[in-house]
Amino acid sequence: MFLTRGTLIATLLFLAAGVVPAAAGSWIILDDNTGHVLAASEQNEKRQIASLTKIATAMVVLDWAESSGTSLSTLVSVPSEVGGVGGVNPCQLQPGDQISLRDLLYSAMMSSDNHAAYTLAQNVGVRLPNPQALSPVDNFSAHMNALARKLGMKRSLFLNPHGLDNMSPPPHSTAADLARLTRYAYSHAGFNFYVSQPTREISIQGIDGTTRGFLLRNTNELLGRDGIEGVKTGRTRLAGDCIVLAADREPEAVEHDGQKIAIPRRIIVVLLGSADRFSEGLALIQRGWSLHESWSAEGRPVSKRSTL
């Protein structure tokens, strides 16, 4: 099939404008600093979110470590049940292996490691308050849901720490709820370390006493483009392609009461049920920066209705 000159020009203009293809299921773009929604479509529709779940997993771990004073360098054991988790196990964690909480976080967030997420849930879940006497992993999931309630994520339900959804009913969330969660994650000073690195060397101590290294590679192919510094990819058959992106630009200098102040500039994009998360996600980021510039030129107006 050949494109006419007019069709070709129209196609190029469509792409240059950062218009989101119709295949995108639901999405949202917002300013991280204020929570102001710059644009959205079906942002409150409940959907499966696959490994985007691990953002909540990471935050339960980071909040617990901070409140309990536990060092993330603490070594924990990979549980015997890990073999039944299924899905991605990039660094081949085996029952009895010893690995630090920090390296488990890196593996879960960068390489979407389901076995790392499960190991975190098992080892942290046994240390969290457990009034219902749940199993450690179920207790950890209960704390994920408690965090969701705290953040106003009213349309979210977490049933495990990794996001696999081959159960009935399956876990779910929304683009808007995940944007709330991501804003919260970035309020934690250490979160960005676990999502922004292209590669990371981790260390695993085997049950036989030997130590093996593994080079993690980030599944987010958009790192470094248009200021993108994270956050998480996800995919299952039910969820389709999913992605959460965060992008930074230099702070904007504005004058206030005769003084210049720097206002942070970060936008967050959540895209669920995509046919092509990377091309559609990048288009949303590019559109987001254009909308952000226009909004800033208008004085950054916000209202309760337009803010998460």
Q: Looking at the annotation, which residues are catalytic?
A: 51, 54, 112
Strands 211-217 and 199-205: antiparallel
Long-range (24+ apart) CB contacts under 8 A made by 244-253 are 244/52, 244/55, 244/178, 244/182, 244/268, 244/269, 244/270, 244/271, 245/220, 245/269, 245/270, 245/271, 245/281, 245/284, 245/285, 246/32, 246/182, 246/186, 246/195, 247/285, 247/288, 247/289, 249/289, 252/296
Q: Rounded to the nearest 10 degrees, what angle do helices 136-150 and 53-68 cross at?
A: 90
The answer to whether the Cα torsion of 280, 250, 102, 217 is positive or negative is positive
